[in-house]
Structure 1
Amino acid sequence: MSCGDPHETECSEVLDHLYEFLDREMPDSDCTKFEAHFGECNPCLEKYGLEQAVKKLVKRCCGSDDVPQDLRSKVMGRIELIRSGQAVPDHDVTAGPTAAAEPTATAGPAGPAAG
């Protein structure tokens, strides 16, 4: 998404790092650049507002639960796959084999039954 106007910080950079901004996981200098961008770019400001509202809602509903770091990493990995346009698998590719994915055992060798 881009508003089509030139900015010091490109819309794509802002949107690619929006969650880092929301979580204050970036240097203050980058936060200042993003704040300036939001001041001049309404589409990015709207996206920021929406994501901020979702984050507040999740915190309100699940605020007392700590999110395991491995879960956060998996979610962020899937977000990056989606952003890059790659196909996202229906199952968790970072987990080991599951019982549902393992082949089932056969009762015996295939072939005609003895009779």
Structure 2
Amino acid sequence: MSTHEHGSDDCVDYIERIVYFIDNELDQADCAVVEMHLRECGPCLERHDLQKAVKQLVARSCSEAAPESLRDRVRLQLREVSIQITEGGA
């Protein structure tokens, strides 16, 4: 049985880390922690897979890099939506 319940406080801590994990912006220790959480938490793994698929689709669809200010705003909105989903129990 998983030690992480869907919508638990633990998961809220991982929402932002998953985005950084996908973007290879974490150090080795943090990557190991996120990987362990993803192995144990199905809902977070689903979020990871969805976010990764969206990033890959966008990457294939766009030949230009978005300005850093736009990327920062999009990251912030993704984090806010993820937190709202987690807090709402979805």
In the superposition, the TM-score normalised over structure 1's length comes to 0.58
Greater helix proportion: 2
5 Å-filtered alignment, 1:75-94, equals: 75-82=74-81
If asked which structure has higher relative contact order (CA below 8 Å, sep 6+), I would say: 2
Root-mean-square deviation (CA, aligned residues, Å) is 2.6
Q: 1:17 to 1:73 in 2, by over 3 A?
A: same
Identity of aligned residues (%): 35
Gaps of 5+ in 1: 86-115
Q: For 2:79 and 2:47, locate their aligned partners in 1 and report how far apart those are by CA, in whole Å.
A: 17
How many residue pairs match? The answer is: 80
Q: Which has the larger radius of gyration?
A: 1
C-alpha spacing 1:40/1:25, structure 2 compared with 1 (3 Å): same
Q: Which residue matches 2:15?
A: 15
Task: Label 1:80 to 1:51 Cα distance change in 2 as closer, same or farther (>3 A).
Answer: closer
Q: CA deviation at 1:78?
A: 3.5
Distance 1:84 1:35 in 2: 20
Contact 2:38 / 2:44 at 8 angstroms: preserved in 1? Answer: yes
Instruction: Tell me how far 1:44 sits from its aligned partner.
Output: 0.7
1:42-61 matches, within 5 Å, as 42-61=42-61
5+ residue gaps, structure 2: 85-90
Counterpart CA distance in 1 for 2:65 and 2:21 is 20
Q: In the TM superposition, what are the counterparts of 1:1-115 in structure 2 within 5 Å?
A: 3-4=4-5, 10-62=10-62, 64-82=63-81
